[in-house]
Amino acid sequence: MLLAEPWLWNQDMLRIAICAISILGSVLAHAPQGHVSIILLGATGDLAKKYLWQGLFQLYLDEASNGHSFRFHGAALNPPEQGWQLMTQALDKLSCPLDVLPESCAELKGQFLKLSQYWQLQTAEDYSTLSQDIETRLQQEGLREAGRIFYFSVPAFAYAGIAQHINSSCRPGPGAWLRVVLEKPFGHDRRSAQELSKELGTFFREEEMYRVDHYLGKQAVAQILPFRDQNRNALDRLWNRHHVDRVEIVMKETVDAEGRISFYEEYGVIRDVIQNHLTEILMYVAMELPRNLSNPEELLRCKLQTFRALRSLEKGNAVLGQYQAYQGQVQKELQKPSGYMSLTPTFAGVLLQIDNLRWEGVPFILMSGKALDERVGYVRIIFKNRAYCAQSESHRDSGKSQCQPRQIIFYIGHGTLGSPAVLVSRNLFKPSPPLGSWQEIQEMPELHLFGQRLADYYAYRPRQERDAYSVLISHIFHQQKNSFITTENLLASWDVWTPLLDSITQEVPRLYPGGNGNEHLLDFEQEGNQVVFVQREVEQLVSNPGSGPMPSDFRVLKAKYRQSPLVSAWPEELIARLASDIEVAAERAVRRSGEFHLALSGGASPVALFQRLAKWHYNFPWDHTHLWLVDERCVPLTDPESNFQGLHVHLLQHIRVPYCNIHPMPVHLHRRLCVEEDQGAELYAKEISALVTNSSFDLVLLGLGTDGHTASLFPHSPSGLEGEKLVVLTESPAKPHQRMSLSLSLINRAKKVAVLVMGKRKKDIALQVSRVGHEPKKWPISGVLPTSGQLVWYMDYDAFLG
């Protein structure tokens, strides 16, 4: 027998191997992959009827031919006959993709209906019966169980009970997986979200839970990270504070809240849309790009990094509105009396800022509302334009003119365009087209969007639109967790939004008529670090006969307190006066000696002052100012309890002061806190002596505690109240107990001492201190008597008059 040449023999063997692999792949693709049971809880509800059954049907169409077998269990509290009837009504309305023939569609719907059944699930026994039914069918049909998906389309208050029943009576057996899908709302604030997460965590592992934010399944939103990744070369130089002017993330609705008032009264527009949907989109825009977009751990790490950089939200960061018909709807649906007033906002515009090198100073505007002029959602990144064009507009190619707007838009849907799209101004750069089945938009070139013709954009849209829930249900099935909200992600978001929500509970929203009638009522603008309505409402304060004094009835009151000047006013006026006085003192000191040494107290009282100095005093000589601390808690300087951290958050990060002019107290030395052998107090005293002439600060700002303490000098403190030490370690009766403080001796060397006293809580101590003499051991504040400087008291009316 003749043998073939070795190289020919090797080629034949290679062909045989490739053929075998191909056949094996084909066999494996159609081999049984195991049985999946999908249990839809709340199967007869609105969400299920509108979206979830259609999403499950699409999953069946996509995956049934890939070797999996399915069974769909609809569950609710309705009795079996009624529940099945309601469920089949939803199943009758299922639709097939456009490329499926009507006859084939009818057959596929029939198959899906045969695989669906209804359960009334209330008790642990009901869940146990469901589990036994699944296992019996598996044995009868000789199938291996792959896993179970439980979709919670039920109110959040029902989660814990259902979770307990699943965990105790309806988990799949060994070797099979469990996936639990949770719908928002995930809590009402940080505390409730944490409690709910903790409760669910006792029944399910983190990897078993899929919290749905359906906006992350919308096609334009899902393109944000891939688009950024594909266009790294072009965007690396543009995607930052040097080139981005602002970012707008918007979701507008024309419908109102009628029929959903009980939900809306509890949550309002911020909790319903902004805290979740729009915040998640913000993360996609602002986060650093992970190296691997499909790695959920890396994605979460980049998100959390961005959450931590978000500046704290305050009342001034939001404008609120409420459509006029809302009050009547509340009274009708919730059976409230005619005089009932709801303060729930149905419109909100919020300014967020990110304190990192990429985004510092770039405003991120999140806006949503009901009863507005159009239904539309979009993300708009607007780039700075520094071009000055000499040629008139009529002689330019508008698509390439550098004088035209430069923007990238992820168009989520509806509105003028009517479909999801990605738009890039032609004068910006030519992008790589979005991945997947997207195509360039050729029609409607003269359509105008955001100040430009559609022809002036590189514009792309999906060849086939897919519902967000269908996309997310597919991701759940394939265990793709990067489109879902983890516990850490959820709590990080609530950390951002809870302070704002707490601060606006008593805010009266601006009324608007709804629809086109809103005109300019809801237009708002950025003013410093806040947002305000463009059209200001005229407010009139009318004092009725016999009514108490109104804020406008008072001006700044000048008097004496403990033989020293007293300035008293309403809080806002008082803070404005103190800030102005500090600026005057700074200017005088800089003219006199070239520098201004300012020592500041911590705590809650000076926060408003710090914010005022940061936002309104643009002529303040910060470049010649040295900032010192009056006292400090013995915690790391990054700890939220740290006075320096408070100073950083509310003042330092918003001003331009040389780093070498900032002098935090050295409470954290050698990896330990306020240990006497480390001589932190002595080090601070030496630094003061070296830099401050005669150790005499130009101005020291103090507060007053309810026990008469000031700085961190407490009644009967063994150090700091007497003697010549400049800086001392002290003990506080409140945690954290250990403190570092300037001594009375050093405070009294200052050229000016300002004592800020605010709030009704301080009325009793202010009255008491007004009557005592020089008793620093008992009342440390009484020992504040500058040797050759001036003492001025700044006291608001609540503290002074009660």
Burial class (CB within 10 angstroms; exposed 0-12, middle 13-18, buried 19+) of 137: middle
In this structure, what DSSP letter does residue 739 have?
E
Burial readout 771-797 (b: 16 or more C-beta within 10 A, e: otherwise): eeeeebeebbbbbbbbeebebbbbbbb
Is residue 223 a contact partner of residue 231, using CB atoms and an 8 Å limit? no
Using DSSP bridges, classify how beta strands 631-633 and 738-742 pair: parallel, antiparallel or unpaired. antiparallel
Phi, psi of 532 (to 5 degrees): -140, 155
Q: Is 79 helix (H, G, I), strand (E, B) or coil?
A: coil
Nearest to 754 by CA among 715, 786, 708, 802: 786
List all residues 6 or more positions away from 697 whose beta carbon is below 8 Å from its beta carbon.
597, 598, 599, 628, 749, 750, 751
Helix (H) or strand (E) holding 512: strand 510-512
**Residue type, position 88, single letter:** T
Q: Is 686 helix (H, G, I), strand (E, B) or coil?
A: helix
Nearest to 117 by CA among 151, 91, 149: 91
Query: What distance in Å separates the CA atoms of residue 786 and residue 746, rounded to the nearest whole number?
Result: 9
Phi, psi of 309 (to 5 degrees): -85, -10
Query: What distance in Å separates the CA atoms of residue 328 and residue 341, rounded to the nearest whole number?
Result: 10
Cα 634 from chain centre: 30
**Residue type, position 458, single letter:** Y
**Residue type, position 171, single letter:** R
Beta strands per DSSP E along 226-339: 244-252, 318-323
CA atoms within 13 A on the CB side of 580: 8
Helix (H) or strand (E) holding 88: helix 80-92
Nearest to 187 by CA among 468, 470, 501: 501
Question: What distances in angstroms separate CA 222 from CA 454, 611, 778, one per listed residue?
Answer: 22, 38, 64
> Is 165 annotated in the active site?
no
Nearest to 302 by CA among 494, 492, 495: 492
Query: What distance in Å separates the CA atoms of residue 496 and residue 356, rounded to the nearest whole number?
Result: 16
CA atoms within 13 A on the CB side of 739: 30
Q: Which two tokens stand for residue 589?
A: 């000191």
What's the full length of the chain, in residues? 802
CA atoms within 13 A on the CB side of 294: 4
Query: What distance in Å separates the CA atoms of residue 761 and residue 706, rounded to the nearest whole number?
Result: 7
Query: What distance in Å separates the CA atoms of residue 484 and residue 207, rounded to the nearest whole number?
Result: 11
Cα 235 from chain centre: 24
Is residue 413 a contact partner of residue 374, using CB atoms and an 8 Å limit? no
Cα 154 from chain centre: 25
Q: Which two tokens stand for residue 122?
A: 């209330």
- Strand order through the sheet with 699-703: 557-561, 564-569, 790-796, 752-757, 699-703, 596-600, 625-629, 662-663
Instruction: Choose, from 73, 214, 277, 648, the residue flagged as catalytic.
Output: 277
Phi, psi of 271 (to 5 degrees): -70, -35
Query: What distance in Å separates the CA atoms of residue 87 and residue 48, rounded to the nearest whole number?
Result: 9
Dihedral, 292, 294, 298, 299 alpha carbons, nearest 10: 110
Catalytic residues: 277
